[in-house]
Chain A
Amino acid sequence: MTGADAFFTLDTAAFLAGALARTLWMTALGCTLGFLIGATLALLRRTRGRLLAPARLLAGLYVEAFRRLPFLVILILVLFSVQAVAPGLSLLGIATIAVTLAATAYLSEIIRAGLEAVPRPQVEGAEVLGLSALDRLRFVVLPQAWGVILPPAAAFMVMFVKDTALASHLGVVELAFAGKILVNKGVSPALGFGAVLVLYALVSWPLGRAAAALEKRLAPARHR
């Protein structure tokens, strides 16, 4: 079987679906964890107490360092570090950790910038009313920071759907690698990579739209 005959089979569909699932899994889990850890680091960097100064420094160093490393390098670093301590972990797990590490750094910086975009007097207004640090964040800072954080954060995640293709270098059979395997098996490149292209587009496009809709709904509370 070669060419189109080999392509239009249930096996191929299942193979591509599995690859797509891996792509989405890495992106979704990595970016969600990255967002949570990144938010924690961003908040940590806003603290003022002397006690947390070393933690602030480490958080800053982490963010700066990992934003400067190419994702492929992070993948390879994680591969070798993880294999040294937990050799049993799957390649997909290793790639997900790498996505998390990269996403943490980028999203943390996006969140930090968003929090800082809220004018200082807004925070002081809350402070003099006796609102606790947590309440200031929850009721005053975050509602106003969301509109600034969301667009670049969503753009980053949509972009990262595509960057996970680099995990193929580790041997993770994600979408891009799946296309290559199909072509190696004799499927025509137009068909194999065409299918991959369509699948990437099918994922990215609605994600982008969802982000835009969310942004529209969340951002201008003040201009309602």
Chain B
Amino acid sequence: MPLLDIAELTAGYGGKTILDGVSLTAERGDIVSLIGPSGSGKSTLLRVLIGLTPPSAGTVRIDGTAVDYGDAAALKQLRRRMSIVFQQYNLFQNMTALDNLTIAPIRTLGVPRGEAEARARDLLAKVGLADKAGAYPAELSGGQQQRVAIARALAMQPEILLLDEVTSALDPERVGEVLDTIQALADTGITMLLVSHEMGFVRGISTKVVMMDAGRVVEAGSPAAIFETPSQPRTQAFIKAIIRH
């Protein structure tokens, strides 16, 4: 049974359909990358999965159990198993890096403060920011903020991590440090669903690549299959346009 099973997921805003019957699965430990042009629904898919945008149809199953996105308790349960990192980091501006990492474990998981802080310091060390525990987000570079954001998502000990274009807002020089962090994470066996425009990175890290366009899955397969022998004309055109540069 796949860890994550998405079937015919549909969603939109104000009468406009953004996701149009998306189906895909991820096994435990899979690194699934979503690629495709802007506006193809990749980020919306992640927002629906984490419960920020309500789906209008379709189901999401985790370990075989369907998620009820209309139910607050179910959402709370979901967010213990699934975490998201945003393009713009969304770190709490009024808290230090350490507090950003401990607030949710303390308040939603009931972890004692001492334990939460010890774990948070561990995580900050893992993303190479052990010395920034007391820094406020405004005092950190974009790359550092994004690594804190990744550590914050990991502090919830999720089984599934969603990464929404986490390097798109960064200075080109800072992209590498964040990608290194994600690579290190992939090696721990966590299941990831990521949206990225860093094609070399996607190709190297993914166990599965999903090509999306106009709210639908065009095709899915191994990185080699998608990048070298795509079967759909839309994928071929997209890959060709990227490789040209």
**A139, A143, A223, most chain B CB atoms within 10 A:** A139
Are B104 and A143 closer than 8 Å at their CB atoms? no
Query: B192 to chain A: closest CB distance in Å?
Result: 16
Q: Which residues of A are found within 8 Å of B75, using beta-carbon distances?
A: 130
Closest chain B CB from A141 CB (angstroms): 10
For B47, give the chain A residue with the smallest CB separation: A124
Is B83 an interface position by the 8 A CB rule? yes
Taken together as a complex, chains A and B put the C-alpha atoms of A223 and B139 apart, in Å, by 8
The verdict on B133 contacting chain A, using a C-beta distance below 8 Å, is no
Q: Does A68 contact B (CB under 8 A)?
A: no
**Residues in A neighbouring B76, C-beta threshold 8 A:** 130
- Are A121 and B86 interface neighbours, CB within 8 A? yes
Q: How many A-B residue pairs have CB under 8 A?
A: 63
A125 vs B75: C-alpha distance when bound (angstroms): 14
Cross-chain contact A128 with B50 (CB below 8 angstroms): yes
- Asked if A126 CB lies within 8 Å of chain B CBs, one says yes
The reply to whether B83 and A222 form a contact with Cβ atoms under 8 Å apart is no
A128–B83 touching, CB < 8 Å: yes
Among candidates B83, B90, B94, B107, residue contacting A124 with C-beta atoms closer than 8 Å? B90
A-chain residues with CB within 8 Å of residue B84 when the two chains form the complex: 128
Q: Is the CB of A129 within 8 A of B94?
A: no
| In the bound complex, CA of A126 to CA of B156 (Å) | 12
Task: Say yes or no: B138 contacts A129, CB within 8 Å.
Answer: no
A140 at the interface (CB under 8 A from B): yes
**B94 and A125 contacting across the interface, CB-CB below 8 Å:** no
- In the bound complex, residues from chain B placing their C-beta under 8 Å from that of A121 are 86, 88, 90
Which residue, A126, A128, A144, has most C-beta atoms of chain B within 10 A?
A: A128
Does chain A have a CB within 8 A of B103? yes
- Chain A residues positioned under 8 Å from B95 (CB to CB): 139
A163 proximal to B (CB < 8 A): no
B136-A224 in contact (CB<8A): yes
The answer, among A122, A130, A144, A221, for a CB contact under 8 Å with B104, is: A130
With A127-B52, A130-B156 already in contact, the answer to whether A122 and B107 are too (CB < 8 A) is: no
- Chain B residues closer than 8 Å to A124, beta-carbon distance: 52, 86, 90
Proximity bits, A99-140, B CB within 8 Å = 1, else 0: 000000000000000000000011011111111100100011
Q: Is B229 interfacial (CB 8 A cutoff)?
A: no
CB-based contact B103/A130 at 8 Å: no
Contact between A139 and B79, CB atoms less than 8 A apart? no
Q: Please measure, in the bound complex, the distance between the C-alpha atom of A121 and the C-alpha atom of B87, giving whole angstroms.
A: 10
Instruction: Flag whether B143 is at the interface (Cβ < 8 A).
Output: no
Chain B contacts for A130, CB-based, 8 A: 75-76, 79-80, 104, 108, 156
A100 to B86, CA, bound (A): 43
Which single residue of chain A is at the shortest CB-CB distance from B83?
A128
Given known contacts A121-B86, A132-B107, A139-B103, what 8 new A-B pairs fall within 8 Å (CB)? Answer: A125-B86, A128-B51, A129-B103, A129-B156, A130-B76, A130-B104, A139-B95, A139-B107
List 7 A-B pairs, Cβ < 8 Å. A121-B90, A122-B92, A124-B90, A128-B50, A128-B51, A130-B108, A130-B156
